[in-house]
Amino acid sequence: MLNFNHVLICLCGAVLGDKVFTGTYGVNYGRIADNLPSPQSVVTLLKAAKIRNIRIYDADHQVLSAFKGSGIGIIIGLPNEFLRDISQGEDRAMNWIKENVQPFLPGTRIRGIAVGNEILGGGDMELWEVLLPAAKNVYTALARLNLQHQIQVSSPHSEAVFANSYPPSACTFRDDVLPFMKPLLQFFSQIGTPFYINAYPFLAYKNDPQHIDINYALFKKNPGIYDAKTKLHYDNMFMAQIDAAYAALEKVGFDKMEVIVSETGWASRGDDNEAGATVKNAKTYNKNLKKLLMKKKGTPYRPKMVVRAYIFALFNENLKPGPTSERNFGLFKPDGSIAYDIGFTGLTSSAISFKGVGSLYVMVSASCAAFLLLVAL
């Protein structure tokens, strides 16, 4: 008799494909704030900007309802604090999916469930142990509901999973992470899930501004780096970080696995010790990143694997803990105006407030690269 899970895995892996991510550009819609516009308003903003992919960090029902009929693909999050419970049994995962996923289908395009965020390499070892069982239970529950063909199960990682990443070809997973990472990769490989990495040249530069050329981090003209092993040249850190992930995956036998950047961005403000956190640099990074993604090309090491990325983040989030930079990654301010110009025009200073559930928003395309946002109550 065939193993039930084996059959499900074989069926799913080849089917999902590009359904999860349309095109190459997405945005993270974080909501740790008390001054953000309504989710309905956010949908209007995203549609006008032609952003077709978003990630959220929970399964908020108001958000999922607002996105009904929008056509925007969403990866929802199963927060870290739920993993212990979900790992206990498939029935726990089934209950969570029936409450937070199934009622919103098919109107809301839920295309993925991110099981936890930056678990491996983090400080809670117990979460390392429950990540894979939780991911398997979520997948099996989806399969029993015949949803495994349209909803991908994944788990994004931070750069902390790597022992080193310079030069890219030398990248390896940490020895203590590998016993947990390898079986997770095996499972994701079977079900067709890419490797999701949160890659921030900003953080690398902030931590070592004396030795990193900021132009290399910002996609500006610079000498770049040469990887002697692969004989490849890199003129920006973003591509080098992706190829470092490909190198690490290859070393543990997953050379066919796609890498998708689940978070990347640049802070527009920071504390005195946060080098590079300025509006000018944030604008430069995100504008150049957008241009790069629109080219729909691969990396030096994987030229045929088109680079896809979710930008962090849609809004500044005023309640996020930590250094000032954490609250200043937004492309937009809470009132809907732009934090800086990368090709979109938000509200003008004289416009009526962006907040308010009953407002009507009309966005008109001003050019192929910019949009004028008009607001009327």
Nearest one of 190, 182, 126, 114 to 153, comparing CA atoms: 114
In the set 129, 250, 258, 263, the catalytic residue is 263
Question: Out of 118, 258, 274, 317, which one is annotated catalytic?
Answer: 118
Contact of 66 with 39, CB cutoff 8 Å: yes
Closest C-alpha to 294, from 284, 282, 307: 307
Contact at 8 Å (CB) between 2 and 11?
no
- Is 118 annotated as catalytic? yes
Residue 263 falls in the annotated catalytic set: yes
Peptide bond into 201 cis (omega under 30): no
Residues involved in catalysis: 118, 263
